Amino acid sequence: MIRALLLGAFVAVLVTPSLAASDLLLTIDGVGNVRIGMTLRESGRTIGARISVPKDGGSDDPQECSYARRADGRDANISYMMHRNRIVRIDIGPTERGQSVAAVRTAEGIGLGSSEKQLRQAYGRRVRVEPHPYGDANDHYYVLKDAGGRRGIIFETWDGRVSQFRVGRYPEVRWIEGCS
């Protein structure tokens, strides 16, 4: 029995895509060490950098919805949706050419540029496929929910590839236009 368990664990390690040492892991709880529900101060301490709301990040009122980013300009493809002083959603998305980007992947190896085939292979029946609200027939949302339905991950695909994705609590993770 123990031999079968060890063999099963060994096989699982072999077939699970590995993350590069520089990749940040996205889970249903957050990205890297930043967790849904943290304050900006808490999240900044965990990554060793100040996170703040830029002038164009939304409302200056911390009780309202706004977006925050690393103040040092690193990891420009990660933004933190804030509501009532807490992170409620983390978005991973495209950036302008030349910006510093973080490699963010799920434990299954899914990240920006992954194919829809890879999404289906990684998540099987756990993922629900929906038409992209702004896309054509080739563009989709791949939606994962936690067991309690309180949090989710949404992968947006354009032309069969992940163009951006986000993790957060409901209802904020479903908001199409971010804070607006």
Residue 97 belongs to some domain of the structure: yes
Residue 15 belongs to some domain of the structure: no
Residue 36 belongs to some domain of the structure: yes
Alpha carbon distance 179, 57 (integer Å):
9
Which strands, in side-by-side order, build the sheet including 140-145?
51-52, 66-70, 78-83, 86-92, 161-169, 151-158, 140-145, 128-131
Whole-prediction pTM:
0.83
Asked whether the beta carbons of 150 and 143 are under 8 A apart, the reply is no
Alpha carbon distance 116, 88 (integer Å):
26
Residue 179 belongs to some domain of the structure: no
Bridge partners of residue 79, in order along the sequence:
91
pLDDT tens by residue, the chain, 180 residues: 444 433 343 333 333 445 554 579 999 999 999 999 999 899 999 999 998 887 665 555 656 889 999 988 888 899 999 998 899 999 999 766 667 788 999 999 999 999 999 999 999 999 999 999 998 888 999 999 998 999 999 999 999 999 999 999 999 999 998 887
Residue 90 belongs to some domain of the structure: yes
Total structural domains in the chain? 1
Question: For residue 41, what is the domain's CATH number?
Answer: 2.60.460
Domain ranges, residue 123: 20-174
Residue 40 belongs to some domain of the structure: yes
